[in-house]
A and B are shown apart, each in its own frame.
Chain A
Amino acid sequence: DQQVKQNSPSLSVQEGRISILNCDYTNSMFDYFLWYKKYPAEGPTFLISISSIKDKNEDGRFTVFLNKSAKHLSLHIVPSQPGDSAVYFCAASTIGGFKTIFGAGTRLFVKA
């Protein structure tokens, strides 16, 4: 049973436009959500996070939105750059918990 779902395996966006990556979760106990970026043959790197007491967190070009009632979060990248091309993983955990559960990832292509 996938507790964290990223239903879009890939997304293609023109440079300068907005990229929106979506993620859904099923476990209502999750209260901490993260996005990771991964290049081929490398480990994922942390990008941005949000706790369940917030509905938005912004860091430069990256903004994460959380809709708890819909159990949905999204990552917005504005403006998108070719260097943003990577696989993006959504992840969820419980604060103070031991496990972080990852989605299947979305491959983002930003075209110049």
Chain B
Amino acid sequence: SQTIHQWPATLVQPVGSPLSLECTVEGTSNPNLYWYRQAAGRGLQLLFYSVGIGQISSEVPQNLSASRPQDRQFILSSKKLLLSDSGFYLCAWSEGKAFFGQGTRLTVV
């Protein structure tokens, strides 16, 4: 069966520091991968999606970037965090319906 791992679960970072969140999927090949952010009162906002290694589509202009160095690995990064980057970040993979990781609560202070 397929599983999705996302870490860390919580993260507190100072403004201006870099960010790296990692997500890996097991039990499937060439999955469509996604990064979502849940900000307070704003639902789930699609940030990036990837249909294959090295293929990244950005949905909203922002201070973040994504990379897919391997088939089942998806990384969310920032060079310098802003206060507005705080939120709950979710990785997902999809085959028709999306399956989510446990999420990372990021607090930028």
Contact = CB atoms under 8 A, between A and B. Distances in A.
A103 B99 CA distance: 16
Interface in B7-49: 9, 32, 34, 36, 41-46, 49
Nearest to B57: A98
A102 B57 CA distance: 17
B44 A98 contact: no
Contact of B51 (A91, A95, A98, A101): A98
A52 interface: no
B43 A43 contact: no
Interface string B69-109: 00000000000000000001010101011111111010000
B90 A43 contact: yes
A43 B103 contact: yes
Contacts of A36: 100
B42 A42 contact: no
Given A98-B51, A102-B36, A46 B98 contact: yes
Size class of the contact patch on chain A: 20 to 34
B43 A100 contact: no
Interface in B45-62: 45-46, 49, 51, 57, 59
A44 B100 contact: yes
Contact of B97 (A9, A43, A49, A105): A49
Contact of B42 (A45, A46, A104): A104
A43 B100 contact: yes
Given A42-B102, A43-B90, A102 B97 contact: no
B99 A9 contact: no
B94 A100 contact: yes
A109 interface: no
Given A6-B43, A44-B90, A104-B43, A99 B49 contact: yes
Contacts of B51: 98
A100 B103 CA distance: 17
A89 B45 CA distance: 12
Tell which of A34, A91, A99 has the most Cβ of chain B within 10 Å.
A99
A41 B105 CA distance: 8
